[in-house]
Each structure stands twice: as structure tokens, then as C-alpha cells.
Amino acid sequence: MAQILDMPRLSDTMKEGVLRKWHKKEGDALAPGDVIAEVETDKATMDFESFDEGVLLKRLIGDGDAVPVGAPVAIIGAAGEDIEGILEQAKGRAGGVGSSGGAKAAATKPAATKPAAVPATPPKPEAAPTAPPQAASAAPAPPPARVTRTPVAASAPAPVAGSGKTLASPLARRLAADLGIDLRGLRGSGPGGRIVERDVKAASGGGDAPAEGAAPAEESESPDESAPRARSSAASASPPPPAALVPDRRSEPRPSSAAPPQTDDVRKPLSLMRKTIARRMLEAKTTIPHFYLEAEVDMDAAMAFRDQVSEVHGAKLSVNDLCIKAAALALRRVPAANASLEDDAIVQHARVDVGMAVAIDDGLLTPVIRGADGKTLGQIAAEAHDFAARARDRKLRPEDMTGSTFTVSNLGMFGITAFSAIINPPEAAILAVGNVRKVPIVKDRAITIGQRMFLTLSCDHRVVDGAIGAKLLSAIVAILERPMTLAF
Amino acid sequence: MAKVSFREALNQAMAEEMERDDRVFLMGEEVGHYQGAYKVSQGLLARFGEKRVVDTPIVEGGFVGVGIGAAMVGLRPIIELMTWNFSLVAADQIINNAAKIRQMSGGQFTLPVVFRGPGGSAHQLASQHSQSTEAFWTHVPGLKVVMPSTPKDAKGLLKSAVRDENPIVFIEGEVLYGDQGEIPDGEYTIPLGVGDVKRVGRDVTIIGWSKMAKVALEAAARLEADGIDAEVVDPRTLRPLDEELIVGSVRKTGRCVILEEGWPYNGVGAEVAYRVARACFDDLDAPVERVTGADLPMPYNAGLEHRCIPTPDTAIEAVRRVLYLE
């Protein structure tokens, strides 16, 4: 009996997968565990394995195709089986995949419903349909120009379809061209974010503009002009209202229309990983109330400890390994910070699973050291080393990267003294580690050279208050300054 | 100005034209002694005699054909169909003879014949007697199709139809016969192919003919309470269509809703929507909306029938959609 193979959900944040490479041809026999294809998820390139025995009857997508989770990818069955009917079915589903895949994703993860309108790529520069001829502004008696800066009622970015096209009604396009308004700066109030006439009128300050809409400068002098409109028309002279400013295209050259671009910008479509980073970091930075705590650690003892361990055990310990272990032990002592906000509850995690941020070519991955508080420094160092290598080869599995309760991010090796990290949801805090610096210090009433390191803890104030955060950071500092406790 | 009913207006038009031109005569089922199934020909038999007001047997294919033949040899017949539902048995005569003979004869024959009668749904006449046939006839080159919505238009357009040298399909909304309306005193005609703005507005154009013009006006009146200023355009003649009037209105409002009592598939509204989309592409702020009869044979059940016909409610919903108010 033939069956459709769907794009599998290979990680819990995966929304679509790119079929990197088929390993089986149509007609090839399949045994359970056989690798059918390689699939690039938002995090890694994974093997797509067969669960069944049979024959690959039909590939439904090609190398490099991206499809949503749950979309048909292949048909398998018995050799020579008639797949006419099931092929139709698969095609039908593929046609409606945008909705059905989305609905499926939504069922398992509520957040998945939102990004429908999120642009897959930034809007392309328009072919300047909105640009009035340059001569118009240079003419001796230009028509009474509208405003030079036009506050827009809403500051959300112009919605675009997956193609990067700005959605606007034909009338809105014509009107915008007449008024010299760039549609890409507008927020559409029509279905699917379509920019319609009223949005353009609101942006121009005319017609049925909402209260925030700016009036043309000339009009603001007419006596019947309402006060708020007159005020916002003065936006260029006073601090602008909390609204995006769209420059009037009549008063400045439009690079897209006239002069060819002077440098060749490189346009790189977002990889799945970059999309995921973008989505998750935007979500974190815009929805989590971050606050930051900073402390300096005396690293003299820790560095000596590290050298001793290396000497005796031959093991290579990094500062990051020490920080992971120190953070894990501290989290065990301050469990309130080892927590997540879930709807209307704070969940305190039983395990201390520490994610470590690993930079790779095109992004960032965070493999997780499980139960780091219970592991020896040697185990942590070995795991971290293995993770870093596999991250660079993009061979991490999704389960290597999910479920961390805290993250350590270290930019010390890049010479960074201190920085503030964005929390990795759903965690409640993240530790940013700077470099170990040799600095002059005062010791025993004399100036001498010491080793110091800055730690910055970013906390989600919904979960962790200042005192809890301070307790956690102090505990980490205390452990690092007494490195014997790391062996505990 | 005198106030008359829709049926009286039609009656006046026929009487005046028969008075004016003795080649004009009326023929159909029950038009004479019974004074017309809908009393449109009331008094005409007494006034013009049996030679010019002719009762026929129940045989549409026959008397429609006789009418076509009469027109070919120089008379100007008005052929009454008891309803347009019954025209289907005469479709061969109308489509293959009336619509084509002028062209096939190289212009040797003209066909000054008017086929007229009630069309559209009335009240619980069920699937076979509730049909809107305008989409059938407007499909055929060689026919003109007229569908007035007011007594004034009915009279002026019927007089023009009688004077036209081409076969005319003149469909009278069955539920309009009792409508009262003012008509100009004295002689007047309304040219075929010229529409009429029934209500001036600036926010949205609602297009409707025959009964649907009334629905459009009712919707517009209710929309006014919400501050929406709808323009109602009645094309009055569906073929040839007054595209200029429609396009001008939609260019002004940027939004278009088309009401049609007939079925949606290949309906007249589909053609109107195409022309609007083509001519007004850069003026449209929303896709053209159509409100049509339900895509099924008319149910007899009164509640279901009501659900199958465009109403002011469904028209208002469509208007709100094109204004993005939903």
C-alpha cells in the first residue's frame, strides 16, 4: 500500500525543511533506517530515515526545495504499485500546503500561527513606480509640495508577500505615486496587510487620516486645522512623534530609479538558521523585560587551578568550561533562577542543563550540557569540545540543542571585555563572559598584576528579580574565585 | 409628471407605439381577451382590435417564429412571453433566427421585433419558474437585452425597443409590475444602451439592474446611516452595455459591487466585473465583488428561496468588504 512521506518535524522549532540531497533514487529499495535524503532544518542538516520497508516510488520535491513541515516529500510503497491516486492526493496537499502545514504547525505550537505575514526576505527595491519625474521637483514653479517628512500613523513595516512584493491595491499604488509616498514605509490595513487607499491617505495626512496622521505643511496654517494635526506637521522641527518617518521622495533622488547603484550590494537569502535566530532573538528582545547585572571576578586562583589540572591530568580546560560548571553549581544553589515562564506559571526546572553558545560560519548554535552541575569538569570539557566540533560540521542533532535551562555565552576569545547577551527563551537568564585580563590591582597595600574577568548576567524580570539575579551572579563569582569548589 | 405603475407604463408604451405606427402589433398567450396574464395589455384588444392584439395557442416556438417572420416582411411585432421561463422552448427561434438572419441575409432583412415578458424570481414559483435568463440572451450577438427597473425607464425603453431595427429581449422584473413611479408627461423615449445613475455617491459603486437596482438603492439608503455614500448605477440595457457610465463611476469611487439575481457562473456580472477590472485597474482599491443568486435551482421553500436571492443585507456585506470594513 503506497503512502506519502511528509517533511518530518526534526526539531521542535522547525517550520520548514530544505531537502539538501536525495540519497535514494526512484525505484530504490528501502529498509528501515536507510537514509532517504538529507534535510536541512533551522538548526542542522539531518538524515531523513525510512521507517518502512519498500520502494521509493516517487520524489515529490527536488534537491534544494524548501517545504513546510508536514508537506508531502515522497511516495513509498511496493515495487510497481500504481500511485496515480495517491499522487493526486499528494499534489492536492502540496497545493494547499501553506495553510495545512501552517495549521498543523499551529496545532503543536501556538506561536507558529503568527509568522504568516513575516517577510521571508526583505522587500525588493521597487522599480520606482512611485517616483514622479525628477524634473517635477526642479521645475520653476513646483506644485505646492506636500510635507517633506510624513509621519505615518503606524510604525510597523510594510507587509510583503513571500516574494518580497509590497501588497497594495492598484488605487493605493497610483495614489502613492501621485503623492510621492513610498509604499514600503506604510502599514496596510487591508486583508493580508494589503495597503489600501485609506492607508496612503493617512500617510499623506489627507482624507480620512487618523488623528496621528500628519497634515501637509501648508494646510496646517489654515485656521480650521485641528491642533493635533498642526502639531504633528511640525515634526521636523521638534522631536518626532512615536511614528516612523517616511522621507518625501520628491525631494531626494531615488537610487532605484535614476542613477545605477554605486556599489554592488550582495543579497543573501536568509538561511533557515538565520531565520530562526532572527525570529527567536526578536521575540526575546521584544517580549522579555531584560535587566543586567555585572560583576568582576578575580581569576587568579581559577587560572592557577586550570593550569594545575592541565599539568596533572593533561586535560585541556577552558575558561568557558569553568564558567559552565560554576554557573551550574550556582543554579543548583539558586533554583529560582533555573526557571521558565510558562503562560501563567513559573516552572522551576529539576535539572540544570546549560546551553553553550557556539559561533559557526553563518550563525550560532547552542548545544546543551545536560545535568552540568553533576558532571566533572573533565566530562564538561570533553562534551563541550565534541559539541563545538560537531556544531562547526553542522552535525548536531536537534536533541543536542533543545531544553537548556540556562545559557553561557563567551566572547572572551574575541577580546571582548564585557557584553550583555539576549536571553535564549524560554530560559530566565543568560551569562555573558568577557575575557580574562591582566590588570593592575591593589594587593597587600601594593600595586601588582592580577587577572580579572567581567561577567554580565541578563535576567528576565518576569521570573527573576534583582535580588535573585544578584544571588546567582554572586554565587558564580564566589565559586570561580574559590576554584576548589568546582571539584565539588 | 404622473404616477403610474410599472405595468401601466408598459401598457402606455405599447398603446402609444401602436397608435403611432400601424405596423406595430401585440401577440402572445392571453394578451387579448384575458387582458394579459399580468394585465400589461389591459384594454389594448378593445382599443386596437383582434388583428393587432392576437391571442395565440400555448406554443412559444410557433408564435415567436411567426413574430420573427412578420418582422422580416415589414411589420413591427411585440411578442409577449407569459414569462421568460417559457422562452426556452423558443430559444432556437430567438438564437438561430432572430439573432442571425440580419447577418446571414447580408442585411437584406432587418428584425424589428420585441420579445417581452416577466423574468426573475417572484414568490415561491420554484426552480422552473424563477429563472433569470438575461445571461443566456446577453451571450448572443445579434440580440439587444433590456431590463428596466422603474416605470419611467420601462416606458421610455420599450418605446425605443419597438422603434429599433434589431430583435430586442425585453425582460420585466415580475415583482416590479405593481411598483409605482413618476413618468414624464407626454411623449418621451430613453435610448437603448444608455445607463442611469440612480443615486450619486462617492465611496462605492453598486451596479444593479431590474429588481437589483431597487435592492442596491435600499442597501445604499441603509449604508448612508453608517456614513457610507454609495453610488447606484443601473445599466438599464445589458447589451449593448453602457461601459462608459460604469467605468466613470468606478473610477470615481474605486470600489465596485455588482448585484445580479441570476446564477454566478458566467453571469452578466462576470462580464461587467471583467470590464471594470480592465478599464479601472489602477483605480480599484479592492477586488470587484459580485453578489448573485445562489448557484442552484431555486428551492420552493420560502425561507430557502429568500436565501438564494441577493438582498440589501448581502449587498451591504459586499460593500463593507470592498471598503475593508469587515
To which CATH superfamily is domain B2-183 assigned?
Thiamin diphosphate (ThDP)-binding fold, Pyr/PP domains (3.40.50.970)
Provide the pLDDT for residue A45.
Answer: 80
The closest alpha carbon to A229, from A248, A246, A209, belongs to A209
Distance from CA of B4 to the nearest CA of A (A): 43
Q: Which helix (H) or strand (E) holds A165?
A: none
Residue bearing the bigger pLDDT, A53 or B190: B190
Range(s) for CATH 3.40.50.970 in chain B? 2-183
The answer to whether B258 and B269 are in contact (CB under 8 A) is yes
pLDDT recorded at residue A133: 40
Residue reference for cell 512584493: A165
pTM of the model: 0.50
- CB–CB of B230/B201 below 8 Å? yes
Q: How many C-beta atoms surround the C-beta of residue A162 within 10 A?
A: 11
Contact A356, A324 (CB under 8 A): yes
Chain A hits for B286, CB-CB cut-off 8 Å, are 169, 190, 196
The radius of gyration of chain A's CA atoms, rounded to the nearest angstrom, is 29
Res A260: pLDDT: 53
Residues A196, B284: C-beta atoms closer than 8 Å: no
- Tell me what pLDDT residue A12 has: 66
Give residues 224 to 283 of A whose Cβ lies within 8 Å of B. Answer: none
Closest CA to A145 of A23, A248, A16, A262: A248
Q: Which chain B residues touch A208 with a CB distance below 8 Å?
A: none
Q: Can you give the pLDDT at residue B22? A: 96
Q: Are A120 and A68 in contact (CB under 8 A)?
A: no
Q: Find how far residue A46's CA is from the centre of its chain.
A: 21
Please list the residues that pair with A441 across neighbouring strands.
Answer: A448
Interface touch B284/A191, C-beta < 8 Å: no
Stronger pLDDT, A249 or B15, i.e. the higher one: B15
Q: Which of A171, A189, A191 sits opposite B282 (nearest CB)?
A: A171
Catalogue the active-site residues of B.
60, 129
Coil vs helix vs strand at A17: strand
List C-alpha distances in Å: A275 to A108, A155, A159, B293: 20, 22, 17, 47
Asked whether the predicted pLDDT for residue A96 surpasses 70, the reply is no
pLDDT band at A184 (very low <50, low <70, confident <90, very high): confident
Length of chain A: 488
Number of other residues whose CB lies within 10 A of the CB of residue B218: 16
Cell of A174: 497610483
Q: Write B247-251 long-range contacts (CB < 8 A, 24+).
A: B247/B275, B247/B276, B247/B279, B247/B280, B249/B197, B249/B205, B250/B205, B250/B276, B250/B279, B250/B280, B250/B283, B250/B284, B251/B280, B251/B283
Interchain proximity A170–B283, CB inside 8 Å: yes
Q: Does B281 touch chain A (CB under 8 A)?
A: yes
Closest residue in A to B283 (Cα–Cα): A171
What's the CA gap between B170 and B118, in Å, rounded? Answer: 9
Inter-chain CB proximity B284 and A172 less than 8 Å: no
Contact A364, A276 (CB under 8 A): no
For residues A109 and A12, the answer to whether their CB atoms sit within 8 Å is yes
Q: What is the bridge-based pairing of β-strands B204-207 and B230-234?
A: parallel
Give the residue range(s) of CATH 3.30.559.10 domains in chain A: 288-487
Number of neighbours of residue B179 by Cβ within 10 angstroms: 18
**Contact criterion met (CB below 8 Å) for A371 and A351:** yes
Q: Are A456 and A293 in contact (CB under 8 A)?
A: yes
- Grid coordinates representing B200? 450619486
CB atoms within 10 A of CB B255: 30
Residue with cell 402572445: B28
Location of C-alpha cell 518530518? A8
User: Which residues in chain A have their CB less than 8 angstroms from residue B285's CB?
Assistant: 169-172, 196-197
Indicate whether A122 pLDDT > 80. no
B94: which 3 cell numbers?
430567438
Cβ distance B285 to A191 less than 8 Å, yes or no, reads: no
Q: What sign does the dihedral A254-A259-A260-A264 (CA atoms) show?
A: negative
CB contact under 8 A, B285 and A171: yes
Distance of alpha carbon A62 from alpha carbon B198, whole angstroms? 58
All three cell numbers of B325, joined, read 470594513
Whether residue A171 and residue B324 make contact (CB cut-off 8 A), yes or no, is no
Q: Please answer whether residues A312 and A477 qualify as being in contact, where contact means their C-beta atoms are separated by less than 8 angstroms.
A: no
Residues of chain A in contact with residue B279, where contact means CB-CB under 8 angstroms, are none
In 3D, which of B145, B150, B178 has the Cα closest to residue B39? B178
Residues 6+ apart with CB under 8 A from B73: none
**Residue A190 forms contact with B (CB below 8 Å):** yes
Q: Cα–Cα distance between A183 and A165 in angstroms, integer?
A: 11
Q: Is B87 helix (H, G, I), strand (E, B) or coil?
A: helix
**B285 and chain A in contact, CB less than 8 A:** yes
Among B284, B285, B325, most A C-beta atoms within 10 A, so best to mutate, is: B285
pLDDT band per the 50, 70, 90 thresholds, residue A156: very low
Given CB atoms, is A168 within the 8 Å cutoff of chain B?
no
Residue of B nearest to A168 (CA): B285
Q: Is the pLDDT of residue A469 over 60?
A: yes
Q: Boundaries of CATH 2.40.50.100 in chain A?
A: 3-114
Q: Which of A130, A195, A197, A198 to mutate to test the interface with B (most CBs of B within 10 A)?
A: A197
Q: The C-alpha cell of B70 is what? A: 412578420
B69's grid cell: 417572420
Q: Quick check: A169 and B286 CB within 8 A?
A: yes
Name B53's bridge partners: B26
CB-closest option in A169, A191, A198 to B284: A169
C-alpha of B95 from chain center: 18
Position A51 scores a pLDDT of 81
Residue B85: predicted pLDDT = 96
Instruction: Name the DSSP class of A432.
Output: E
pLDDT of A236 higher than 50:
no
Beta strands at B180-183 and B144-146: parallel, antiparallel or unpaired? unpaired
In sequence order, what DSSP letters do the residues of B163-200 get, joined into one string?
H-SS-EEEEEEGGGTT-EEEE-SS-----TT--EEEE-
pLDDT at A95: 56
**Cross-chain residue pair B284–A197, CB shorter than 8 Å:** no
Separation of alpha carbons A353 and A334, rounded Å? 14
* Any A CB within 8 A of B279 CB: no
Closest CA to B131 of B97, B170, B83: B83
Instruction: Report the top-level CATH class of A288-487.
Output: alpha beta
Q: Are A167 and A159 in contact (CB under 8 A)?
A: yes
Residue A270: per-residue pLDDT:
80
Show pLDDT as tens, one digit a residue, over chain B (326 residues).
899 999 999 999 999 999 999 999 999 999 999 999 999 999 999 999 999 999 999 999 999 999 999 999 999 999 999 999 999 999 999 999 999 999 999 999 999 999 999 999 998 999 999 999 999 999 999 999 999 999 999 999 999 999 999 999 999 999 999 999 999 999 999 999 999 999 999 999 999 999 999 999 999 999 999 999 999 999 999 999 999 999 999 999 999 999 999 999 999 999 999 999 999 999 999 999 999 999 999 999 999 999 999 999 999 999 999 999 97
Mean pLDDT (chain A, rounded): 77
Q: What residues does CATH 3.40.50.920 cover in chain B? A: 196-322
CA–CA distance, B121 with A185 (Å, rounded to integer): 50
**Buried b vs exposed e over A224-242: b needs ≥16 C-beta within 10 Å?**
eeeeebbebbebeeeeebe
Q: Which pLDDT belongs to residue A251?
A: 43
Position A209 scores a pLDDT of 38
Sort out which chain B residues have CB atoms less than 8 A from A190's CB and list them: 286, 324
CATH tag for A3-114 (out of 3.40.50.300, 3.40.50.2300, 3.30.300.30, 2.40.50.100) = 2.40.50.100
Is the separation of the CB atoms in A68 and A16 below 8 Å? Answer: yes
CATH 3.40.50.920 is the classification of domain B196-322:
yes
- The answer to whether the CB atoms of A196 and B324 lie below 8 A apart is yes
- Taking the mean position of all CA atoms in its chain, how far away is CA A176? 32
Rounded-to-5 percentages of helix, strand, coil across chain B: 40, 20, 40
Which helix (H) or strand (E) element contains residue A301? helix A300-313
Task: Tell me which of B288 and A117 has the higher pLDDT.
Answer: B288
Please indicate if any CB of chain B lies within 8 Å of the CB of A117. no
Distances in Å between the Cα of A279 and the Cα atoms of A282, A283, A428, B4 are 5, 6, 18, 70
Is residue A196 within 8 Å of A188, Cβ to Cβ?
yes
> Is A174 within 8 Å of chain B by CB?
yes
Least confident of A135-144, A294-303, B94-103, B105-114: A135-144
- Amino acid code (one letter) for B264: P
Which position has the grid cell 535551562?
Answer: A405
Give the amino acid at B240: P
